[in-house]
Amino acid sequence: MINTTPFKVTFVVAKTIALCFLLTTSLSAQTSTEKSVVDAARALGMTPAIVRVPVPLKTPAPNRQPQQVVQKQAQKTDPYAAQRAHIFKQNAQRRKAHHQRLANIQRQKQARNKTKQQHLPHNTHRNVWNRVYQGFQFRNYNHNPLVQRYTKAFSKSPQRIQRLADRSSDYMYMVVNELSRRRMPTELALLPFVESAYRNKAYSHAGAAGMWQFIPATGRRYGLKQTRSYDARLDSHQATRAAFDYLQKLHREFKGDWLLALAAYNCGEYRVQKEILKNRRLGKRTDYWSLSLPKETRQYVPRLLAFKEIFRNPSAYKVRLRGIPNSPALARIHVNKAVNLRKAAAHAGIPSEQLLKLNSGFLHGITTPRFSNQITLPRKHAGRLNKVIQQLPPAIDVHNKPSRYAKYKSRGKKRRYVYHKVRSGDSLYRIARKHGTTVKKLKRLNKMRSSRIWPGKRLKITKGKSTRSFS
């Protein structure tokens, strides 16, 4: 029989109860690990082999309800949930469409730049035409029927377009440089193709003259002197400066619309403003294409846009542009004496017509320092011509030369004149009848080539009997 004492039995029972209590607590809490249980058993003096750690049971996965059920439940709790989800979906679609538009615009720009590079003339970094293309600012109006009509008409004679481009080569750098300085669109460098075909001595039936076709009154308003020996409208540099001053003023007046500014340059700002007010009263649009302008003005802007299309893409219209060096082709010198340009050209060994064409403002081929002391020279011959001009003796100033009819001047009573300010609705016939004269005399006295008048113009009218004069 085993010799046991009550103390030992009590100790074993207590140890067993404590072990059971510890194991039960660890299993119910599911927080102790196998290592902690073994350590606890060793601390109680039990063998680790008899300790069996129960494997924790896998908790069943929560019952996931379908998304539609969740949405319905959310709608019950939040009545604006569906509307909010719809808005989020629309915003996502808009963001996606916006990114697609940006990508399309980027692709179009790359394709346009690639096409432009293909059609640029050789040596683009040294070519003025490249500066012209890069400075285009007008919208693309190729879809307009009038622009398409004139583009087709001009492209039928590529030789003529080539001649125009060659004629402009002396002045293009000067014009583009001035446009860049003023930050104006370089489409305006093509405007002389429409106005005068880049000829300094171009005249119109309305009395306009020069490369930029200034009428006498507008020319004087912008500082272009006009005398019997000098006409600044025929000076390429002076006329270009005045033309850009006038165009900038019109651009401001018509609130940044270049097409309306060009129309006003052709037919006058008063006529364009009158048509704008008329359309505004009738509830019509007031852009250039919607106005009822004169026939010449309706053709004026489409012609410019047609030239832009041809020069922008010359190879498509069988035009081969010769490169214009990106450097000045002309030089200006200051001479404070009268110079006979024909003699200067003959002494320098260059054609006199070339020098006279560049200085068309001097009407008799002799400079007049009283009105302009600047002479334009071809840059490649500027040094030789400057030496010749400095060595030549002063010529007779044509402006101070007495008239050959001076001895026949009448000593009778001087003429007296009155002035009539033209109002809206006036005509030369009405004005002549009112003052007892004829339309022919009225036009001759005011040096008018046509019967066109506009409100605000002042007409000189003879008062009393006139005497014959040869002056």
Instruction: Give the C-alpha separation, 197 to 212, whole Å.
Output: 10
Averaged pLDDT, 147-168: 92
- Of all residues in the chain, the percent with pLDDT exceeding 90 is 50
CA distance 181 to 184: 8
Judgement on whether residues 295 and 368 belong to the same structural domain of the protein: no
Which member of 187, 195, 275, 309 is catalytic?
Answer: 195
Identity at 246, one-letter amino acid code: Y
Confidence at residue 40, expressed as pLDDT on a 0 to 100 scale:
56
Domain assignment of residue 21, given as a range: 6-50
What is residue 80's predicted lDDT score, i.e. its pLDDT? 78
Mean pLDDT value of segment 450-458? 84
pLDDT category, 66, cuts 50, 70, 90?
low
Tell me what the mean pLDDT of segment 339-356 comes to. Answer: 92
| Across 377-382, average pLDDT | 92
- Of 399, 433, 451, the residue at which a domain comes to its end is 399
Specify the range with the lowest mean pLDDT, choosing from 123-127, 136-140, 352-356, 383-387. Answer: 123-127
Q: Is residue 66 part of a domain?
A: no
Read off the CATH number of the domain in which 419 is found: 3.10.350.10
Average of pLDDT values for 293-310? 94
Question: Per-residue confidence at 112, pLDDT binned at 50, 70, 90?
Answer: confident
Give me the helices (H) in 120-190, please.
Answer: 128-134, 145-155, 158-167, 169-182
Mean pLDDT computed over 403-431: 65
Give the pLDDT of residue 298.
93
Q: Are residues 369 and 441 both part of a single domain?
A: no
Range with lowest mean pLDDT among 40-44, 149-153, 332-336? 40-44
Is residue 367 domain-shared with residue 435, that is, in the same domain? no
Mean pLDDT along residues 225-234:
92
Q: Answer yes or no: do 209 and 153 share one domain.
A: yes
The end-to-end CA distance of the chain, in Å, is: 171
Q: Per-residue pLDDT for 124 more than 80?
A: no
Residue 406 has pLDDT above 80, yes or no: no
What's the pLDDT score for residue 82? 80
Residue 371 pLDDT greater than 60, yes or no: yes
Domain limit, last residue, from 352, 369, 399 = 399
Contacts (Cβ under 8 Å, ≥6 apart) of 276: 260, 286, 291
- How many domains does the chain fold into? 4
Quick one: 343 and 299 in the same domain? no
Report the phi/psi class of residue 436: left, alpha or beta, with left for phi > 0 and alpha for psi in -120 to 50.
Answer: left
Lowest mean pLDDT among 183-197, 269-283, 428-442: 428-442
* 275 compared with 22, residue with greater pLDDT: 275
Q: What is the pLDDT of residue 44?
A: 56
Among 310, 386, 377, smallest CA distance to 347 is for 386
Query: Do the domain assignments include residue 115?
Result: no
Of 15, 32, 50, the one marking the end of a domain is 50
10 Å Cβ neighbour count for 335?
Answer: 18
Taking residues 127-141, report their average pLDDT.
Answer: 91
Give the residue from 280, 298, 303, 296 showing the smallest Cα distance to 288. 298
Same domain for 271 and 365? Answer: no
- CA 324 centroid distance within chain: 22
The H or E element that residue 72 is part of is helix 67-77
Among 135-144, 186-195, 456-465, which stretch is predicted with the lowest mean pLDDT?
456-465
Same domain, 378 and 344: yes
Residues 300 and 175 in one domain: yes
> What's the confidence (pLDDT) of residue 434?
81
Query: Which pLDDT does position 177 carry in this prediction?
Result: 94
Please report whether residue 61 resides in a domain: no
User: Do both 169 and 295 map to the same domain?
Assistant: yes
Same domain, 286 and 426: no
Q: What is the CATH number of the domain that holds 247?
A: 1.10.530.10
3-state secondary structure of 53: coil
For 420, the enclosing helix (H) or strand (E) is strand 416-421
Q: 229 and 167 in one domain?
A: yes
Contact 461, 437 (CB under 8 A): yes
Whether 100 is in a domain gets the answer no
Q: Which of 22-36, 189-203, 395-409 has the highest mean pLDDT?
A: 189-203
Residue 129 lies in a domain: yes
Distance, CA of 168 to CA of 185 (rounded, Å): 18
pLDDT at 451: 83
Strand duo 330-334 + 374-378: pairing? antiparallel
Q: Is 195 noted as a catalytic residue in this protein?
A: yes
What is the mean predicted confidence (pLDDT) over 253-268?
Answer: 94
Residue 224, in any domain of the structure:
yes
Distances (CA, A) of 44 to 28, 33, 151, 291: 20, 17, 108, 109
CA quadruple 295, 233, 309, 306: dihedral, nearest 10: 20
Angle formed at CA 93 by CA 92 and CA 95, multiple of 5 degrees: 65
Nearest alpha carbon to residue 229 among 72, 442, 372, 68: 372
Task: Answer whether residue 76 is part of any domain.
Answer: no
SS3 for 471?
coil
Residue 61 has pLDDT above 60, yes or no: no
Burial of 159 (0-12, 13-18, 19+ CB in 10 A): exposed
**Residues of the chain above pLDDT 70, percent:** 78
Q: Does 9 score more than 90 pLDDT? A: no
pLDDT at position 35 over 90: no
Q: What is the DSSP string of 23-52?
A: HHHHHHHT---HHHHHHHHHHTT--GGG--
Give the pLDDT of residue 63. 53
More confident residue, 267 or 73: 267
Residue 309: inside a domain, yes or no?
A: yes
Q: If pLDDT is split at 50, 70 and 90, which confidence band does 178 have?
A: very high
Residues 345 and 311 in one domain: no
